[in-house]
Homo-oligomer: A and B are copies of this chain.
Amino acid sequence: MKNSNILKITHIDYSILALVRQTPMSGYGIRMVFQKTALGNYSGSPGTIYPALKRLEKIGVIEKKKHSNPKKQFLFAITKTGIEVLKKWLMRPISAQDVTKNLTIIILRFAFMDGSLTQRQKRNFLVSFRIAVKNYIVALEEYYVKESKRMPLSGRQAFEYGIESYKTTLKWIQKTISS
């Protein structure tokens, strides 16, 4: 059962979609933003951006618009359906997987929320993020209690780093909720 006709939107695609929601941009302009800001740590190389733009245009979430200066390249702008698709991505429930494997994506989503989500929706996102992180910290600490004796010192210290990192995340969530 291959979903060969369903075009999946990848994380990079969503990042680009979120970007052109803020300001319509040319492919080259998008590349420059990715390069200058290390946006989500994606490369911003042509091989990353242009195929993504093609995918996004194909499914109708962005469209080409003429630049006010007719000499310049056309710009990509988000469509109405694009706005809906973007919102859905931003509001997607946070899974346990997201917390362990895609933490940077969660943060990236948060970074793009202003202008697309309401204050209330942002808050809901942070609250469920907080629950997921809390749960994961508990799991990590339980594992640590059981297994730390069997670890070499450096292994133990590395594990402690993991726990401290997530505690920092938790503090940030807390601070951001109450701001």
| Contact of A114 with B38 at beta-carbon distance under 8 Å, contacts A158-B107, A158-B108, A161-B107 already known | no
**Residue of B whose beta carbon sits closest to that of A43:** B101
Q: Which residues of B contact A160 (CB under 8 A)?
A: 172
- The answer to whether A114 touches B176 (Cβ under 8 A) is no
- The answer to whether A115 touches B152 (Cβ under 8 A) is yes
- The answer to whether B100 touches A154 (Cβ under 8 A) is no
The reply on A50 being an interface residue by CB < 8 A is no
CB contacts under 8 Å to B, within A132-167, are 143, 147, 152-155, 157-162, 164-165
- The answer to whether B176 touches A172 (Cβ under 8 A) is no
Bound state CA distance, A152 and B111, in angstroms? 8
A26 → chain B closest CB, angstroms: 19
The reply on A4 being an interface residue by CB < 8 A is no
Bound state CA distance, A143 and B114, in angstroms? 20
The reply on A118 being an interface residue by CB < 8 A is no
Q: Which 8 A-B pairs have the closest CB atoms?
A: A111-B158, A114-B152, A168-B168, A114-B154, A111-B155, A113-B154, A161-B172, A107-B158
The reply on A110 being an interface residue by CB < 8 A is yes
9 examples of A-B residue contacts, CB within 8 angstroms: A38-B100, A107-B161, A110-B154, A111-B157, A112-B155, A115-B152, A122-B154, A165-B165, A165-B169
